[in-house]
């Protein structure tokens, strides 16, 4: 497969970036998108050029770091799939592929395709936890009965990998889908009740402070989310927020 | 669908004491990074269990205990000879990586090392292969430090430089890995020495001579690493051979 890649290159957070075109030959349909990037980088290094920097870790769709805007879509054209699990067979010989980093004020570019997503960490730290005493007398979590439907919902919300595709897809660069998934995961369980009021207030405050935009119910976040996190989470967070403020 | 075995986890890790403290005072290693919980075998979710157990139940007490003695220590100045030396060493190492002859990429060395490890230090290993693996890795390491090519600058984020630092470590650890497998003249857990098997191809353990943990002390060259034997003492159970038959 012969491809033309148009990739965002930016040397540092302060530098002015630009799109650079790279022809790439010998791409196999069985390669993952990141393996294709590895091939490009090895070529660049062998030519004495600087490789394209991109984040990656597990390459099995659970760490949430392989974030790329591929032809204008977060994580590329395949539904419910992170960039690392996207295969080149989804593209055709002769294609031109545009690759950019996430674009959001709250995700500043570090270098090339790598953005700083620590704003997500700070939203997590603001309340996405339950306090548990680990003194050795910890109550077994399974001893608290939870109805199956709720447990399943909470589990589904917890599958959010925090990649930021929701922000990248949103015209307002809103982090509502991410934040609401983290709020919902606890709001649905009895273990989360104790800190429910503080949690939603602190997390929403942090989200606003980080400079994420607001939600206008477009729903692009849900369409692009590689884990299929549902818009209902945003509804739940809004009702939790209302409850906490009355 | 293609199905292929792949390396997923390596048994062992940094030596730690009962409080999860390494040989460097104040430096604790938790989870998969330390050696302590799982011995020579690895079952599903081992790494998860080790991370949770260390993080929830051990470190909250042992780090606190360590820090209790440091409560009046105050800020530690960086204007010390030790700090200067550490800074100088780190800079020298980075400079050496940045100024290689530039013949081969970091990936080139990583792949070569991977192939040696895969072919000669895999689940099934023997004396001849392990010995030649040690020599090949030593040779590859020398070549790496002379000829590696790291593009870009050391003053910005540089993933190739980060990778070069890791591959440099792998090139030492790989040789130690082979040396350790060579030292253990028995088969146990994930270590199957072809010379030590029963007539029907099962692992043949030697509890008389090898019921110990091998703790290797770093000594510049991996082949000069010093072995410390920590006896495995079983008080409540007796050592037996597990059979799935």
Tens-digit pLDDT profile for chain B (245 aa)?
A: 888 777 777 788 899 999 999 999 999 999 988 987 776 677 777 788 888 889 988 998 999 999 999 889 999 999 999 999 999 999 999 999 999 888 999 999 999 999 999 999 998 999 999 999 999 999 999 999 999 999 999 999 999 999 999 999 999 999 999 999 999 999 998 899 999 999 999 999 999 999 999 999 999 899 999 999 999 999 999 988 877 77
Does ipTM exceed 0.85? Answer: yes
Is there a single domain that holds both residue A8 and residue A67? yes
Q: Which residues, listed in sequence order, are joined to residue A98 by a DSSP beta bridge?
A: A6
Q: Which domain holds residue A217?
A: 118-245
Residues in contact with A158: Cβ distance below 8 Å, sequence separation at least 6, in sequence order: A181, A185
- pLDDT (mean) for A168-187: 97
Q: Are residues A82 and A103 in the same domain?
A: yes
Q: How many domains does chain B have?
A: 1
B159: contact with A, CB 8 A cutoff: yes
* Pick from A11, A53, A136: CB nearest B159: A53
Interface of B with A in 16-75 (CB under 8 A): 56-57, 60
B84 touches chain A (CB under 8 A): no
Residue A158: per-residue pLDDT: 97
> Which of A82, A97, A67 is closest to A5 using CA atoms?
A97
Tell whether A64 and A135 lie within a shared domain: no
Q: Does B156 touch chain A (CB under 8 A)?
A: yes
Q: Is residue B132 part of a domain?
A: no
Task: State whether A107 and A122 are in the same domain.
Answer: no
Place of tokens 């980060």: B162
Do residues A58 and A165 share a domain? Answer: no
Contact B213, B180 (CB under 8 A): no
Can you tell me the mean pLDDT for A113-119? 98
């Amino acid at each position: 497969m012969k491809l033309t890649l148009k990739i965002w290159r930016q040397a540092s957070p302060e530098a002015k970036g630009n799109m650079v075109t790279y022809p790439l030959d010998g791409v196999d349909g069985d390669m993952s998108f990141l393996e294709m990037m590895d091939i490009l980088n090895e070529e660049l290094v062998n030519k004495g050029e600087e490789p394209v920097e991109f984040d990656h870790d597990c390459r099995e769709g659970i760490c949430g770091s392989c974030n790329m805007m591929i032809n204008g879509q977060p994580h590329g054209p395949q539904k419910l799939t992170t960039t690392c699990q996207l295969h080149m067979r989804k593209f055709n010989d002769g294609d031109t592929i545009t690759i950019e980093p996430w674009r959001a004020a709250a995700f500043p570019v570090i270098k090339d395709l790598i953005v700083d997503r620590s704003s997500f960490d700070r939203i997590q730290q603001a309340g996405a936890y339950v306090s548990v005493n680990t003194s050795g007398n910890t109550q077994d979590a399974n001893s608290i009965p939870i109805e199956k439907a709720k447990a399943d919902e909470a589990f589904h919300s917890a599958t959010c990998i925090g990649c930021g595709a929701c922000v990248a897809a949103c015209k307002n660069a809103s982090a509502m889908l991410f934040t609401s998934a983290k709020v919902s995961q606890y709001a649905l369980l009895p273990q989360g009740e104790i800190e429910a009021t503080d949690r939603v207030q602190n997390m929403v405050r942090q989200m606003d402070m980080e400079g994420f935009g607001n939600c206008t119910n477009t729903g692009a976040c849900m369409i692009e989310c590689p884990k299929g996190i549902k818009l209902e989470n945003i509804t739940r967070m809004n009702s939790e927020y209302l409850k906490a403020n009355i | 669908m293609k199905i292929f075995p792949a390396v997923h986890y390596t048994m062992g890790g940094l030596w730690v004491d009962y409080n999860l403290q390494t040989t460097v005072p104040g430096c604790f290693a938790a989870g998969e990074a330390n050696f302590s919980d799982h011995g020579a075998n690895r079952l599903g979710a081992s790494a998860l269990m080790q991370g949770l157990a260390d993080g929830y139940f051990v470190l909250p007490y042992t780090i606190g205990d360590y820090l209790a003695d440091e409560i009046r220590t105050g800020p530690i100045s960086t204007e010390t000879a030790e700090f200067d030396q550490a800074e100088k060493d780190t800079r020298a190492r980075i400079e050496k990586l940045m100024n290689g002859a530039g013949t081969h990429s970091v990936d080139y060395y990583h792949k070569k090392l991977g192939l040696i490890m895969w072919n000669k230090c895999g689940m099934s290993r023997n004396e001849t292969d392990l010995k030649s693996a040690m020599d090949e890795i030593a040779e590859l390491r020398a070549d790496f430090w002379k000829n590696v090519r790291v593009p870009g600058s050391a003053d910005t984020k540089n993933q190739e430089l980060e990778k070069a630092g890791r591959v440099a470590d792998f090139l030492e650890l790989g040789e130690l890995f082979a040396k350790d497998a060579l030292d253990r003249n028995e088969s146990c857990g994930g270590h199957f020495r072809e010379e030590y098997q029963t007539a029907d191809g099962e692992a043949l353990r030697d509890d008389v001579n090898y019921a110990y943990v091998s703790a290797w002390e770093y000594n510049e060259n991996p082949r000069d690493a010093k072995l410390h034997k920590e006896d495995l003492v079983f008080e409540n159970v007796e050592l037996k051979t597990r059979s799935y038959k």
